[in-house]
Amino acid sequence: MSRIGKKPVTLVKGCSASISGQTIEVKGPKGARSFTATDDVTLTIDGDTVKVTPRGTSKRARQQWGMARSMVENLVTGVTTGFKKELEIQGVGYRAAMNGPNLKLSLGYSHEVNFEVPKGVTVSSPKQTEIIVEGIDQQLVGQVAANIREWRKPEPYKGKGIRYKGEFVFRKEGKKK
């Protein structure tokens, strides 16, 4: 039995859900999101909770059971509180600034990098060495943060680059005489 799948997802105050077929749509103060579950699970709404149950005992049904429940919980979290990823920039002369809808990054290249922010995500730079990515879609927020980090990953000798807040970068020792 799936330990995750057994737990019902509670709908927070100010959040509503509706099911049509295998698609569940959740609306909240930050927006609306939907998820289409596979035919291996059944979605039901009981008052202020959403329950996910498997159809059968096949391996695929058990796999989809926990995954579908996690996806529904992420929908509820996204439309109520949202998701957030924080990035730090370390290195002499490395900085970030918002330039209209784009993020302008100076990362030691011969040119500045203009990163276009996709729809559904808000990017802000409160300090020159800090980037905050926020949105209601957890996958999109994580992907945008990973795409920004991809421009200059932290290197192991001096630790320069873009890293997630609180990320540990394993440092290597340089050459010895």
Question: At CA 55, angle to CA 49 and CA 56, rounded to 5?
Answer: 135
CA 168 to mean position of chain CA atoms: 20
Task: Confirm if 66 and 36 have CB atoms less than 8 A apart.
Answer: no
Closest to 143 (Cα-Cα) out of 85, 98, 103: 85
How far is 125 from 142, CA to CA, in rounded Å? 17
Task: Confirm if 47 and 95 have CB atoms less than 8 A apart.
Answer: no
> Which pLDDT band, with edges at 50, 70 and 90, does 1 fall under?
low
- Please report the pLDDT score of residue 175 as a whole number: 87
Which CATH code for domain 3-80? 3.90.930.12
- Please report the pLDDT score of residue 36 as a whole number: 94
Provide the CATH topology of domain 83-164: Outer Surface Protein A; domain 3 (3.90.930)
Same topology for domains 3-80 and 83-164, yes or no? yes
pLDDT (tens digit per residue) in 148-158 = 999 999 999 99
Q: Could you give the count of Cα atoms lying within 13 Å of 168 in the half-sphere of its Cβ?
A: 1
DSSP 38-102: -TTEEEEEETTEEEEEESSS-HHHHHHHHHHHHHHHHHHHHHHT-EEEEEEEESTT-EEEEETTE
- Please report the pLDDT score of residue 156 as a whole number: 93
How far is 114 from 133, CA to CA, in rounded Å? 16
- The domain limits of the chain are 3-80, 83-164
pLDDT (tens digit per residue) in 18-53 = 999 999 999 999 999 999 999 999 999 998 999 999
Q: State pTM to two decimals.
A: 0.87
pLDDT (tens digit per residue) in 96-139 = 999 989 999 999 999 999 999 999 899 999 999 999 999 999 99
